[in-house]
Amino acid sequence: MLSGPLSGLANASGLIAGLRQHIRASAMSHPSKVETPKQTKRILSLSLHKQVREHAAGVLAGLMKGGDEHLSKAFRERSYADATVVIMKRKLRNSRSDQSIASTHGAVLALTASVLSVPYDMPSWLPDHLTLLAKFIGEPSPIKSTVAKAVAEFRRTHADTWNIHKAAFSEEQLEVNHSTLHFLLRDKVCSILFANSHS
């Protein structure tokens, strides 16, 4: 019998398998009435294990790549709305909201799944999603590292065609994403300098 984090991961793998089955069954049985499953939010937001949340986001990104477009669109719209609410609450309170880090991480992972579900492509919704994701860069870990990995992966998959794709972004969106890259580079340089000074 597993205990501690391993039991949580084992339970989560069951939840993720259930999520996969729910998405497939929902898309097949009700293609015109596809709803974002409640299990998605439960896995991405409520799991106490960061690895489980991150794995679930990866699974969702993969399912969205080749899955039902209605379901993917519903998930993207919901994840964007949820993350927007988190950002707005923080602005209103001018501080961290009362949401837990796991809940905020879930909203960020949902955006990440959306962004990473279209490698090499630039659908019309992607600039808004990527820009909103970039706005979470100042959050504590593990949120910050999730944003950093997602932005780095986006840059990697869109580097060859960036001169064409950047036209899809507004000036404001380009500025937010540019600032995020500078933040990440500064953070990386500081980490390297710190490591070198203590070795």
Look at residue 9 in the predicted model and tell me its pLDDT. 40
CA distance 68 to 158: 24
Give domain limits for the chain. Answer: 9-197
State the CATH class of domain 9-197.
mainly alpha
Residue pair 147/108 in contact by the 8 Å Cβ criterion:
yes
Look at residue 129 in the predicted model and tell me its pLDDT. 96
**First-to-last C-alpha distance (Å) of the chain:** 41
Residue pair 77/111 in contact by the 8 Å Cβ criterion:
no
CA distance 144 to 166: 24
Residues 85-126: tens digit of each pLDDT: 998 887 776 655 567 788 888 889 999 999 999 998 999 999
> Sign (positive/negative) of CA torsion 118, 121, 127, 130?
positive
Tell me the two tokens of residue 48: 């106490």
Look at residue 90 in the predicted model and tell me its pLDDT. 78
Kind and range of the H or E run holding 100 = none
Look at residue 2 in the predicted model and tell me its pLDDT. 39
Look at residue 4 in the predicted model and tell me its pLDDT. 43
Q: Note down pLDDT in tens along the chain; length 199 residues.
A: 434 444 444 444 554 555 555 555 554 555 444 444 445 555 565 555 777 778 778 877 888 887 778 888 988 999 999 999 998 887 776 655 567 788 888 889 999 999 999 998 999 999 999 999 999 988 888 899 899 889 889 888 988 998 898 899 999 988 887 777 666 655 554 554 545 555 5
What is the secondary structure of the chain as a DSSP string? ---THHHHHHHHHHHHHHHHHHHHHHHHH-TTS----HHHHHHHHH-S-HHHHHHHHHHHHHHHHHS-HHHHHHHHHHHHHHHHHHHHHHHHHTS--SS-HHHHHHHHHHHHHHHHTSTT---TTHHHHHHHHHTTTTSPTTHHHHHHHHHHHHHHHHSTTHHHHGGGS-HHHHHHHHHHHHHHHHHHHHHHHHHHHT-
Shortest CA distance to 40 belongs to which of 7, 63, 15?
15
CA distance 178 to 78: 26
Look at residue 1 in the predicted model and tell me its pLDDT. 40
Tell me the two tokens of residue 168: 């899809």
Q: pTM of the predicted model, to two decimals?
A: 0.71
Tell me the two tokens of residue 11: 């339970």
Look at residue 124 in the predicted model and tell me its pLDDT. 94
